[in-house]
Amino acid sequence: MKPGNIPVPAVRRLSLYLRQLDNLWRDDQRTISSRQLGDALKLTDAQVRKDLAYFGQFGQPGIGYNVEELIARIRGILGTDRMWNVLLVGAGHLGMALSAHRGFARKGFRVVAVFDDDKAKIGKRVPSLEGVTIQPVEEIARAVREKDIRLAIIAVPGEAAQGVTDRLLAAGVRGLLNFAPVSLDVDTAVAVSSVDLAVQLEQLSFQVGAAASLEDVKK
Amino acid sequence: MKPGNIPVPAVRRLSLYLRQLDNLWRDDQRTISSRQLGDALKLTDAQVRKDLAYFGQFGQPGIGYNVEELIARIRGILGTDRMWNVLLVGAGHLGMALSAHRGFARKGFRVVAVFDDDKAKIGKRVPSLEGVTIQPVEEIARAVREKDIRLAIIAVPGEAAQGVTDRLLAAGVRGLLNFAPVSLDVDTAVAVSSVDLAVQLEQLSFQVGAAASLEDVKK
């Protein structure tokens, strides 16, 4: 099956399976049943089997899946069986924390270039990244070309995000992880994943408030 | 309509409408049509009207919605018409960046306490938060009680996350924004929003890879 034909929710679950499998592997578990894999993620074993069947049948009845093989297959599908060079725009608090995020390297993502438009920051070394200094955004196109970069992380204020986006796409970047609190206007061929930290909390405040008002109703 | 009866995707869109409306308000726009609001978010005007109808009819035909009134209504629904005290566990790079995140305060979330289990960090001041020092995790229950905290941000390594979660829930926290790369095991009454930064990039690498392989197919 072509990767493009796997539904988006299934692709999200593949990431969760992979995370779970990586943890099992570290704990020396070598085989796993669909039920065990589902339990940890609160999914039925039927759902797990269906998702994994997108890339062929290879679990063994009564034994389950070989953890190592399953990790390799999922990585192959997700495209993280190779290293990706990633660039980061925005060297503020969040950007610097992201540049130091060890989880990225573990999954095969390497932040190889950092950009900002603040002259006071340009030329400074990024403490967490060996040999990386903060460059002006005008250098983005050159870095994308020289380092074969397809993915970028945007950690700039909302008002700067669209300009940065336009520059990234013109340079050939094809996937954006956006932390700026705005909706980006991009071509449909571009992959965008947005994380608005404040919106995440807002959704929780809704749920906690709604649960509280339901309790009031029950009383 | 009770908040608990609004479907989850509609609640997510309310946050996006609110973000858009806040921007419009800052740009001195005082009324907006459902079409304008939808265009910016790539939604149809019918969808916008349907979502906003969950809390009563109040747009005016030919004029549209009053921006200020709509902001107030959505904040009321989402529960951000008041301030929320929030606590943060994990004073590493990401935790410190989150403590400095200005977007939280803008939406009504105030980080009032920070915890870590690293003795070397305890007692240190949090630079971005006036009067806040890093406390040991054993102090969580007291802080929750004294500061009436319902929401917590978890920015600890994966292996520490479930222990921290259990402690938070025992203390009375009801909503968790989880940055640790694990699935938390919680009671269904607890609201959890998870942001796994590496998984976000992994999903992009899939999409960018899938788009590239589709291009191969077309050639």
What ipTM was reported for this prediction?
Answer: 0.89
Q: Specify the pLDDT at position B6.
A: 80
Q: With 80 as the cut, is the pLDDT of residue B4 above it?
A: no
> Which residue of B151, B174, B201, B216 to mutate against A (max A Cβ within 10 Å)?
B201
Q: From CA B6, how far away is CA B147, in angstroms rounded?
A: 30
Has domain A3-78 been given CATH number 3.40.50.1220? no
CATH superfamily of B84-199: NAD(P)-binding Rossmann-like Domain (3.40.50.720)
CATH number of A85-199: 3.40.50.720
Q: What value does the mean pLDDT of chain B take? A: 91
Q: Report pTM.
A: 0.91
- The pLDDT tens digits for B21-49 are 998 999 999 999 999 999 988 899 999 99
Q: From CA A85, how far away is CA A114, in angstroms rounded?
A: 12
Q: What is the mean pLDDT of residues A19-26?
A: 92
The minimal CB distance from B197 to the residues A23, A98, A211 is found for A98
Q: Decide if A175 and B205 are in contact by the 8 Å CB cutoff.
A: yes
Q: With 90 as the cut, is the pLDDT of residue B72 above it?
A: yes
Q: Is the pLDDT higher at B167 or at B53?
A: B167
Please choose, from the candidates A183, A159, A164, A193, the residue with its C-alpha nearest in 3D space to the C-alpha of residue B40. A183
Closest residue, chain B, to A3 (C-alpha): B210
- The pLDDT tens digits for B127-174 are 999 999 999 999 999 999 999 999 999 999 999 999 999 999 999 999
Q: What is the mean pLDDT of residues B67-78?
A: 92
Q: Decide if A182 and B23 are in contact by the 8 Å CB cutoff.
A: yes
Q: Is the pLDDT higher at A116 or at A188?
A: A116
Residue-range domain boundaries for chain B: 3-78, 84-199
Q: With 80 as the cut, is the pLDDT of residue B55 above it?
A: no
| Alpha carbon separation from B165 to A15, B91, B140, B171 (Å, rounded) | 22, 16, 11, 10
Least confident of A154-168, B60-74, B181-195, B205-219: B205-219
Q: Decide if B205 and A109 are in contact by the 8 Å CB cutoff.
A: yes
pLDDT band for position B216 (cuts 50, 70, 90)? low
Q: Specify the pLDDT at position A219.
A: 47
- In the stretch 97-156 of chain B, residues with CB closer than 8 A to chain A read 97-98, 100-101, 103-104, 106-109, 128, 150-151, 153
Q: With 70 as the cut, is the pLDDT of residue A76 above it?
A: yes
Q: With 50 as the cut, is the pLDDT of residue B219 above it?
A: no
Q: What is the mean pLDDT of residues A17-24?
A: 93
Name the minimum distance, in Å, from the CA of A31 to any CA of chain B.
20
Q: Specify the pLDDT at position A109.
A: 96
pLDDT band for position B8 (cuts 50, 70, 90)? confident
Percent above pLDDT 90 for chain B:
77
Q: With 90 as the cut, is the pLDDT of residue B211 above it?
A: no
Q: What value does the mean pLDDT of chain A take? A: 91
Q: With 70 as the cut, is the pLDDT of residue B105 above it?
A: yes
